Amino acid sequence: MELYYPDSNRLGKFNITYETLLNDRPMCAALFALGVVIYTERHESGRGIIYYAASEAFDELTDKEEIPEYRIEFVYDRPFENPEWEARRVASGKFGFAFFRNTIVRVPALELGVKAARPSLH
């Protein structure tokens, strides 16, 4: 799937569980205020939604780069305890968010098969 947003090449995707969507609406509203959701799909586990969005909080993409997945941490009305996270802080209302691009390592698929054994001459 190819997604395009005309005003930005800062695209990313992230997952939010249904539980978080129902129980943490103010945080979700603050998060969605930081960008534009351009596509959604159900997470393969069936426990949440994957959001594809454009946001200044995401890294710029290079040509033909896949849309990366992000882990998002948040705090309410206080700084992050971790100084690295605080340095990445993006504010939205009283919420602070830190975006972390997940590193995906692709490995070649294993070829598993059963080969016939050579018949024994003994």
In-domain check, residue 118: no
Number of domains in the chain: 1
In-domain check, residue 67: yes
- 26-84: per-residue pLDDT in tens? 999 999 999 999 999 999 888 899 999 999 999 999 888 889 999 999 999 999 999 99
In-domain check, residue 6: no
Q: Could you tell me what percent of the chain has a pLDDT over 70?
A: 80
Region of 96 (left: φ > 0; alpha: ψ -120 to 50; beta: rest) is: beta
Residues for the chain: how many in total? 122
Alpha-helix residue ranges (DSSP H) falling in 33-105? 83-87
Q: Would the pLDDT of 117 be above 50? A: no
In-domain check, residue 112: no
In-domain check, residue 111: no
What average pLDDT does the chain have? 86
